[in-house]
């Protein structure tokens, strides 16, 4: 059962590399719901939770777990008072498809909101490879704006190079810089745009390691620091500092399984506190970090 | 006179309208006199009023100083009796108009006349305000309360207007009128007088001495105030019951006793009469020691529950219902909330933590004891300050459990902070703009912790959230007995004769406010929220009610 699930997930990720991992996870969960042979609603919820946990073990990003939880909440946020279990299941499936539809449009919504903040002749700094940021820059280029982009190389997986290639295909002038050169390059740039793997309750973000450094430097240079994220990345976590982020998000899933002593491993993500973020662009609108908590209360309570 | 039937000349019109008790117009001179008086009061108020008139334009409810429950109740009470009481200016003003010509000097017509006059005046005020070009009131406000003289100016609560003698006189008169008995004129609530020289920045607040409790001024037996309330007032003013949770619980227990001993008078309804009975008790307790935000919310809840009692409910039934309501309130909002908060807070305590606490907060103590029981390994640093030295109580309780503690005074704060990994603070109230009101010294701790990048966590139950907005510790605070600052060492008391030194003032502040930028996280029974989300919680709570 588990292998079937994981296989489906992996296929989804392979067929559409542009899709967010959370969207693939939700597709998998929807398919799981369809195939589930459970007899009770409670059993259904339990098995969905178990499925989400399985997927988190495959891909330990924050977005997968938050997406899964939101999916579960969304489909059960309706009256399930039908006598017939199959009717309930049908209702849940319909809502699941609605949810999927909504979130597939979220990147377009974010791009529409954010591209207006990129002015003609702007110099943008971004970190590592983020598909949302790419979408935003695509939209801005489509609006005939001229801008240059600096991308950090983002070790250890050098994801920044992929971002640079994608931008070159759009005919955007792009320069790859070392992670250590962020402070050096910041005086030249006008704004900083990064994606997020997860948006936490305080309004801060969890993103690839090196984001916190970039945020601190841009604060010191008084440059605006923008974050673009879809709403399914909102997660009910509240880290107080870097150490407070749970280990299951910090390291890749296979590292957690194989390695016993994590102090030798280097974490893949870091936490950026809300005081360093200027604005967050989400499909729920343009939010200040303190408004994220309001949105989360609305989503979760 | 009334059966004359013939139309009178304009000269006699006033007498006849007044005597007929239905006149809607005042004469020109009376109008002018009224206007002059109102202008004079408005000028006085605006001089005392620190806020500019621009602030009073925003007559929106969230941005308003929370008046003590007493004036709120009087402003909203529809009955004619409190209306002239809380607007004493029209009462003496109307006296010269109603001296001789009133043919029926009985109480009832005079009161309704005063009520009508107040209505007229309010209407005139709104008309005048609307006519003025720079006027701020957005059209004629339909909700002008009867007792409001100036609907445009937001009224300051009386407990922050101590330096205005007119306000103090008004308060005394209001306390007089709160006797609910038709006989026994000496059974009124006494007004507590201020003690000692007050520092000029805080001269608008009360300062009482602990050696002169209010109970000494009461007659015995005091038939107006229930004995358990008298005892409670004494406990508050002597500091025997201290701490916002303890005070609220004691208040609710005293009210339970009051309800048990209550019997409805023959022609009255329980829902209205009991609320009126509670009013003098609340003023009395306010005089003993100013009410805290948590007590204010508890009183609002009780009043709402009492007024929601259906009129056909039998007395015994109603009383048991109220008692269960109060028990449920204590259980839900205080006991269970503490459990929920501990559950969230324990997630934030990791092994090897060094936790700093300040003073004695029952909630923070609870959290630390529970975390210790769940075998988290941590140690505690207790910070204390004079003159209350509440930290000693916290230290005693923690050490009894076996938690390893360190004790420092607040002056050693910057020395000890590099060792600290987290700061846990309690709160007296959380204000609507995200500011935390707590024991004096808390904002200092938050400030220094922020400088050392140590996370500051505030733990607060939702029943302590209040709609008030405050950005500094001056505007509304509590001044404790200045004699507490005297210290006796080796037989010598410094500052023994501080009253004789004319230029010396002693200041013993009780509360201060911490801005939300210094607070990283607020743990409430609803979950962990950032400090800026307090208005969201208030909004959600208001929707529930």
Query: ipTM, 2 decimals?
Result: 0.81
Q: What is the CA radius of gyration of chain B?
A: 27
* Mean pLDDT, range B411-432, rounded to an integer: 94
Measured between alpha carbons, how far is A273 from A289 in angstroms, rounded to an integer? 9
**Lowest mean pLDDT, pick from B215-224, B257-266, B458-467:** B215-224
What count of residues does chain A have?
301
Between B502 and B428, name the one with better pLDDT: B428
Count CA atoms closer than 13 A to A289's CA, side-chain side: 20
* Mean pLDDT, range A139-143, rounded to an integer: 93
Across B136-145, B155-164, B224-233, the highest mean pLDDT is recorded for: B224-233
- Strand A225-228 and strand B429-430: pairing? unpaired
Amino acid B14: pLDDT? 52
Measured between alpha carbons, how far is A226 from A215 in angstroms, rounded to an integer? 9
Query: Nearest CA to A125 among A152, A153, A160?
Result: A152
Do residues B122 and B38 touch, judged by C-beta distance below 8 A? no
Do residues B421 and B454 touch, judged by C-beta distance below 8 A? yes
Decide if pLDDT at A192 tops 90: yes
Decide if pLDDT at B89 tops 60: no
> Per-residue confidence at B383, pLDDT binned at 50, 70, 90?
very high
Whether the bond into B464 is cis, omega within 30 of 0: no
Amino acid B333: pLDDT? 92
Query: Nearest CA to B469 among B446, B447, B499, B437?
Result: B437
- Provide CB contacts within 8 A for B149, sequence distance 6+: B38, B41, B87, B89, B90, B121, B122, B125
Between A7 and B411, name the one with better pLDDT: B411
Measured between alpha carbons, how far is B486 from B196 in angstroms, rounded to an integer? 14
Q: Do B455 and A301 touch (CB under 8 A)?
A: no
Mean pLDDT of chain B: 78
How far A300 CA lies from chain B's nearest CA (Å)? Answer: 11
Decide if pLDDT at B273 tops 60: yes
Q: Do A293 and B540 touch (CB under 8 A)?
A: no
> Per-residue confidence at B82, pLDDT binned at 50, 70, 90?
very low
- Segments in B178-314 forming alpha helices (H): 227-238, 244-260, 270-288, 293-307
pLDDT in tens, A249-273: 888 777 777 777 777 788 889 999 9
How far B460 CA lies from chain A's nearest CA (Å)? Answer: 17
The residues pairing with B353 across neighbouring beta strands, listed in sequence order, are B378
> Per-residue confidence at B79, pLDDT binned at 50, 70, 90?
very low
pLDDT in tens, B313-342: 888 999 999 999 999 999 999 999 999 999
CA-CA-CA-CA dihedral for B335, B339, B340, B341, to nearest 10 = 100
- Which two tokens mark B53? 């008139």
Q: Do B455 and A297 touch (CB under 8 A)?
A: no
Q: Do A202 and B533 touch (CB under 8 A)?
A: no
Nearest CB partner across the interface for B532, out of A240, A290, A297: A290
* Mean pLDDT, range A143-161, rounded to an integer: 92
Measured between alpha carbons, how far is B347 from B360 in angstroms, rounded to an integer? 22
Portion of chain A with pLDDT greater than 90, in percent = 44
- Strand A174-177 and strand A147-152: pairing? parallel
> Per-residue confidence at B154, pLDDT binned at 50, 70, 90?
low
- Which two tokens mark B28? 């020109």
> Per-residue confidence at B193, pLDDT binned at 50, 70, 90?
confident
Q: Which residue's entry shows tokens 């709104």?
A: B126
Amino acid B83: pLDDT? 39
Measured between alpha carbons, how far is A190 from A147 in angstroms, rounded to an integer? 10
CA A157 to centroid of chain Cα atoms: 18
Decide if pLDDT at B1 tops 50: no
- Best residue in B455, B456, B536 for a mutation probing chain A (most A CBs within 10 Å): B536
Decide if pLDDT at A68 tops 90: no
Amino acid A141: pLDDT? 93
- Provide CB contacts within 8 A for A69, sequence distance 6+: A52, A235, A236
Do residues A281 and A209 touch, judged by C-beta distance below 8 A? no
Decide if pLDDT at B98 tops 80: no
Query: Nearest CA to B122 among B51, B56, B38?
Result: B38
> Per-residue confidence at B277, pLDDT binned at 50, 70, 90?
confident
> Per-residue confidence at B366, pLDDT binned at 50, 70, 90?
very high
Amino acid A8: pLDDT? 84
Do residues B436 and B442 touch, judged by C-beta distance below 8 A? yes
Q: Do B540 and A301 touch (CB under 8 A)?
A: yes
Instruction: Tell me if residue B390 falls in helix, strand or coil.
Output: coil
- Provide CB contacts within 8 A for B444, sequence distance 6+: B410, B413, B512
Decide if pLDDT at B221 tops 90: no
* Mean pLDDT, range A24-53, rounded to an integer: 82
Q: Do B529 and A201 touch (CB under 8 A)?
A: yes
Nearest CB partner across the interface for A203, out of B453, B455, B530: B530
How far A21 CA lies from chain B's nearest CA (Å)? Answer: 28
Query: Nearest CA to B477 among B443, B523, B520, B517?
Result: B443
How far A197 CA lies from chain B's nearest CA (Å)? Answer: 20
Amino acid A69: pLDDT? 82
**Lowest mean pLDDT, pick from A216-230, B19-33, B219-233, B425-439:** B19-33
Could you tell me the end-to-end alpha-carbon distance of chain A, in angstroms, rounded to an integer?
Answer: 32
Report chain A residues whose CB lies below 8 A from the CB of B457: 240
> Per-residue confidence at B188, pLDDT binned at 50, 70, 90?
low
Report chain B residues whose CB lies below 8 A from the CB of A238: 521, 528
How far A294 CA lies from chain B's nearest CA (Å)? Answer: 7
How far A301 CA lies from chain B's nearest CA (Å)? Answer: 10
Measured between alpha carbons, how far is B209 from B150 in angstroms, rounded to an integer? 35
Do residues B380 and B423 touch, judged by C-beta distance below 8 A? no
Q: Do A240 and B532 touch (CB under 8 A)?
A: no
Instruction: Tell me if residue B363 falls in helix, strand or coil.
Output: helix
* Mean pLDDT, range A273-301, rounded to an integer: 87
Mean pLDDT of chain A: 87
> Per-residue confidence at B345, pLDDT binned at 50, 70, 90?
very high
Report chain A residues whose CB lies below 8 A from the CB of B517: 275
Decide if pLDDT at B544 tops 60: yes
Q: Give phi and psi for A193, each to the nearest 5.
A: -125, 130
Do residues B29 and B44 touch, judged by C-beta distance below 8 A? no
Q: Which residue's entry shows tokens 């908060």?
A: B341
Element (H, E) at B50: none
Instruction: Tell me if residue A257 falls in helix, strand or coil.
Output: helix
Measured between alpha carbons, how far is B305 from B330 in angstroms, rounded to an integer? 14
Measured between alpha carbons, how far is B411 from B415 in angstroms, rounded to an integer? 9
Decide if pLDDT at B31 tops 70: yes
Amino acid A43: pLDDT? 81
Element (H, E) at B430: strand B429-430
Closest chain B residue to A273 measured between Cα atoms? B520
- Best residue in A276, A290, A299, A301 for a mutation probing chain B (most B CBs within 10 Å): A290
Portion of chain B with pLDDT greater than 70, in percent = 74
Report chain B residues whose CB lies below 8 A from the CB of A240: 348, 422, 455, 457, 520-521
- Best residue in B527, B538, B543 for a mutation probing chain A (most A CBs within 10 Å): B527
Measured between alpha carbons, how far is B135 from B28 in angstroms, rounded to an integer? 24
Decide if pLDDT at B311 tops 60: yes
Q: Do B520 and A240 touch (CB under 8 A)?
A: yes
Which stretches of B345-416 are assigned E, i.e. beta strand?
Answer: 353-358, 378-384, 405-409
Measured between alpha carbons, how far is B111 from B98 in angstroms, rounded to an integer? 11
How far A219 CA lies from chain B's nearest CA (Å)? Answer: 16
Decide if pLDDT at B55 tops 90: no
CA B126 to centroid of chain Cα atoms: 29
């Amino acid at each position: 059962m588990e292998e079937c699930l994981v296989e489906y997930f992996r296929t989804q990720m392979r067929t559409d590399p542009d899709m967010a991992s959370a969207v693939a996870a939700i597709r998998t969960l929807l398919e799981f719901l369809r195939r589930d042979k459970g007899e009770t609603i409670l059993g259904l919820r339990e098995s969905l939770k178990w499925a989400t946990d399985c997927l988190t073990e495959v891909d330990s990003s924050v977005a997968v777990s938050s997406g899964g939880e939101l999916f579960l909440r969304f489909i059960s946020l309706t009256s399930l008072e039908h006598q017939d279990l199959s009717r309930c299941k049908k209702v849940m499936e319909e809502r699941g498809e609605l949810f999927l539809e909504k979130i597939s449009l979220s990147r377009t919504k974010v791009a529409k909101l954010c591209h207006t903040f990129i002015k003609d002749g702007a110099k943008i700094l971004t970190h590592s490879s983020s598909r949302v940021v790419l979408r935003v820059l695509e939209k801005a280029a489509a609006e005939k704006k001229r801008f240059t982009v600096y991308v950090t190389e983002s070790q250890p997986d050098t994801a920044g190079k992929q971002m640079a290639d994608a931008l070159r295909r759009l005919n955007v002038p792009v320069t790859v810089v070392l992670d250590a050169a962020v402070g050096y390059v910041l005086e030249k740039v006008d704004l900083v745009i990064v994606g997020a793997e997860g948006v936490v309750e305080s309004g801060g973000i969890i993103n690839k390691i090196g984001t916190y450094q970039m945020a601190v430097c841009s604060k010191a240079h008084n440059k605006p620091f923008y974050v673009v994220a879809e709403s399914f990345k909102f997660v009910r976590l509240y880290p107080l500092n870097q150490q407070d982020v749970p280990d299951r998000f910090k390291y890749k899933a296979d590292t957690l399984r194989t390695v016993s002593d994590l102090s030798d491993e280097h974490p893949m993500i870091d936490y950026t506190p809300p005081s360093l973020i200027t604005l967050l662009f989400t499909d729920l609108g343009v939010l200040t970090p303190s408004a994220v908590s309001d949105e989360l209360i609305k989503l979760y309570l | 006179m009334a059966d004359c039937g013939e139309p009178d000349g304009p000269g006699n019109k006033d007498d006849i309208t007044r005597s007929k008790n239905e006149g809607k117009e005042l004469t020109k001179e009376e109008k002018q006199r009224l206007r002059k008086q109102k202008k004079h009061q408005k000028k006085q108020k605006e001089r005392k009023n620190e806020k500019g008139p621009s602030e009073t334009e925003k007559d929106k409810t969230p941005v308003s100083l929370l008046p003590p429950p007493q004036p709120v109740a009087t402003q909203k009470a529809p009955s004619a009796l409190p209306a002239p009481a809380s607007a004493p200016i029209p009462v003496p003003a109307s006296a010269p108009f109603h001296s001789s010509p009133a043919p029926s000097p009985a109480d009832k017509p005079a009161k309704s006349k005063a009520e009508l006059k107040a209505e007229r005046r309010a209407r005139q005020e709104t008309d005048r305000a609307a006519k003025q070009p720079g006027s701020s009131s957005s059209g004629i406000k339909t909700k002008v309360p009867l007792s409001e003289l100036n609907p445009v100016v937001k009224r300051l609560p009386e407990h922050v207007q101590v330096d205005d003698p007119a306000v103090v006189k008004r308060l005394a008169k209001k306390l007089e009128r709160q006797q609910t008995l038709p006989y026994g004129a000496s059974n009124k609530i006494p007004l507590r007088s201020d003690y000692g020289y007050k520092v000029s920045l805080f001269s608008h607040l009360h300062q009482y001495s602990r050696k002169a409790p209010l109970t000494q001024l009461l007659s015995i037996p005091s038939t107006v105030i229930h004995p358990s309330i008298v005892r409670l007032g004494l406990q508050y003013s002597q500091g025997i019951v201290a701490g916002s949770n303890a005070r609220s619980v004691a208040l609710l227990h005293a009210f339970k006793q009051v309800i048990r001993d209550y019997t409805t008078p023959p022609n009255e309804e329980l829902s209205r009469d009991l609320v009126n009975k509670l009013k003098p008790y609340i003023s009395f307790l306010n005089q003993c020691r100013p009410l805290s935000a948590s007590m204010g919310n508890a009183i609002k809840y009780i009043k709402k529950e009492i007024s929601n009692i259906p009129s056909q409910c039998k007395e015994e039934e109603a009383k048991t219902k109220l008692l269960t309501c109060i028990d449920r309130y204590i259980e839900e909002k205080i006991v269970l909330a503490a459990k929920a908060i501990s559950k969230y807070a324990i997630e934030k305590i990791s092994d090897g933590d060094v936790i700093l606490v300040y003073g004695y907060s029952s909630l923070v103590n609870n959290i630390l004891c529970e975390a210790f029981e769940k075998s988290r390994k941590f140690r505690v640093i207790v910070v204390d300050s004079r003159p209350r030295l509440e930290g000693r109580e916290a230290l005693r309780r923690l050490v009894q459990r076996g938690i390893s503690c360190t004790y420092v005074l607040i002056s050693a704060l910057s020395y000890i902070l590099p060792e600290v990994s987290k700061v846990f603070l309690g709160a007296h109230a959380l204000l609507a703009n995200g500011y935390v009101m707590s024991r004096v010294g808390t904002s200092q701790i938050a400030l220094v912790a922020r400088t050392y990048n140590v996370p500051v966590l505030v733990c607060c139950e939702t029943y302590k959230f209040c709609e008030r907005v405050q950005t500094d510790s001056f505007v509304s605070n509590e001044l404790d007995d200045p004699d507490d600052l005297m210290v006796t060492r080796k037989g010598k008391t410094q500052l023994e004769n501080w009253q004789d030194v004319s230029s010396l003032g002693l200041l013993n502040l009780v509360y201060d406010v911490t801005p939300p930028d210094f607070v990283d996280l607020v743990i409430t029974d609803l979950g962990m929220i950032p400090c800026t989300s307090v208005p969201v919680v208030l909004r959600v709570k208001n929707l529930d009610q």
